Structure 1
Amino acid sequence: MIVALVLLLACGGLVIGLLRRRRRRHQPVVVPYLANVPHGANQEQQRHSAPNEPKPTVVPFKADAVPAAQDGKYAVLVADDQPLIRMLLRELLQQDGVTVYEAENGTAAVEAFRRHHIDFALLDLNMPGMNGLEALKEIRQLDASVEAAFVTGYGDPEMLNEAKKLGVLTCFTKPFDIESVRRHVANRRESAARKDGVVS
């Protein structure tokens, strides 16, 4: 078991290194209808967090262990059936002081919303069992105002149209540019802070 865990972590490190090299050569692939979506204030300013900000607590979601609430921190749910993608996004977002919850499928994503306050959801469109669209429909019954974006290996036009009906206009296509995802979450966080009257 320990050997398998060490091998998984080693493979994860290798994948992260390869993805970071790859992103320097590739532009992000974003669904075309997103081009007209306003992104608010200057993105370069929003992508940097305070240099002395303490490292966040990363809280993976487990049905049998409910983590304590992270008071005052922006919380993001990452739902994807691929563990390495969850790990990559968790490590990326935690650098900006975000509390990260993880779910391996749509059912676990809905359960995470029942147990925690979550500000933003990043959902894989195609997951076994309950997919990202089905999960978001249930999540919206628990919190109608939660913001979300989708990640997908391929953009099915029918699913993307359904996503638009749910008010989700952002869908990152794998392999996605991780800085693009980071900036998008930072923009949503900044927007939420302005709505709450928080000056950053």
Structure 2
Amino acid sequence: MPITKKTKILVVDDEPDVVVLLSSYLAEEGFKVYTATRPSQAIEHVQKYPIDLAIIDIAMPEMNGVELLKKLKQIKPNLEAIMISAYKDAEKVVEAFRAGAYDCIFKPFNLKYLRTAIMAKMIE
């Protein structure tokens, strides 16, 4: 499914401040945003709502973001994903791409780059 302004985006990060920052920005951009601070919440959202794109933190305590992405892809194989991380761990980034992510953005965020990454999927 092509990403559009009506795209439903799920933001998953164990840091509530990051969730608020990203969800506020994306809502201002016109997207429908769902949020989760735990991987289990993210799984519930993908089962319940028609999520098109997930923005997932790689490092979370309950389950790492790559494992979460794999679980979400089992539920919804065509789910698009962008990974976010505070750590520039090349091994985890490669793992994320292999699991189906199409981009990885490092903290602190450049929100313009995030917007560009989302828009790139819109025009594919």
Highest CA radius of gyration, 1 or 2?
1
Q: Is the CA contact 1:106–1:134 (under 8 Å) kept in the aligned structure 2?
A: no
Give the Cα–Cα distance (whole angstroms) in 2 for the partners of residues 147 and 169 of structure 1. 7
State the Cα distance separating 1:169 from its structure 2 match: 3.7
The runs of at least 4 aligned residues of structure 1 exceeding 3 Å deviation read none
Q: Is the CA contact 1:105–1:131 (under 8 Å) kept in the aligned structure 2?
A: no
Give the Cα–Cα distance (whole angstroms) in 2 for the partners of residues 116 and 190 of structure 1. 23
Structure number with higher strand proportion: 2
**Percent identity of the aligned residues?**
34
Give the Cα–Cα distance (whole angstroms) in 1 for the partners of residues 28 and 119 of structure 2. 11
Correspondence for 2:91 among 132, 140, 158: 158
Does the residue aligned with 2:105 lie in a helix, a strand or coil?
strand
The one-character-per-residue Cα deviations of 1:76-117 (angstroms, maximum 9, x if unpaired) are 000001111111111111122100000002121111101100
Q: Are residue 95 (structure 1) and residue 28 (structure 2) matched?
A: yes
Correspondence for 1:149 among 79, 82, 102: 82
Give the Cα–Cα distance (whole angstroms) in 2 for the partners of residues 98 and 87 of structure 1. 14
Q: Are residues 190 and 98 of structure 1, via their aligned partners in 2, closer, same or farther at CA, if it must alter by over 3 Å?
A: farther
Give the Cα–Cα distance (whole angstroms) in 2 for the partners of residues 169 and 153 of structure 1. 18
Does the residue aligned with 1:118 lie in a helix, a strand or coil?
coil
State the Cα distance separating 1:155 from its structure 2 match: 2.1
5 Å-filtered alignment, 1:7-26, equals none
Give the Cα–Cα distance (whole angstroms) in 2 for the partners of residues 177 and 107 of structure 1. 27
Structure 1 residues 97-106 or 162-171, which shifts more? 162-171
Correspondence for 1:117 among 50, 72, 91: 50
Correspondence for 1:182 among 101, 115, 119: 115
Counterpart amino acid of 1:125?
Answer: I
Counterpart amino acid of 2:93?
Answer: L
TM-score for the superposition, normalised by structure 2? 0.89
Counterpart amino acid of 2:81?
Answer: A
Q: Are residue 137 (structure 1) and residue 70 (structure 2) matched?
A: yes
Q: Are residue 167 (structure 1) and residue 100 (structure 2) matched?
A: yes
Counterpart amino acid of 1:75?
Answer: K
TM-score for the superposition, normalised by structure 1? 0.57
State the Cα distance separating 1:183 from its structure 2 match: 1.9
Give the Cα–Cα distance (whole angstroms) in 2 for the partners of residues 108 and 84 of structure 1. 17
Counterpart amino acid of 1:86?
Answer: V
Q: What runs of 5+ residues in structure 2 fail to find an aligned partner?
A: none
Does the residue aligned with 2:20 lie in a helix, a strand or coil?
helix
Does the residue aligned with 2:29 lie in a helix, a strand or coil?
coil
State the Cα distance separating 1:189 from its structure 2 match: 3.2
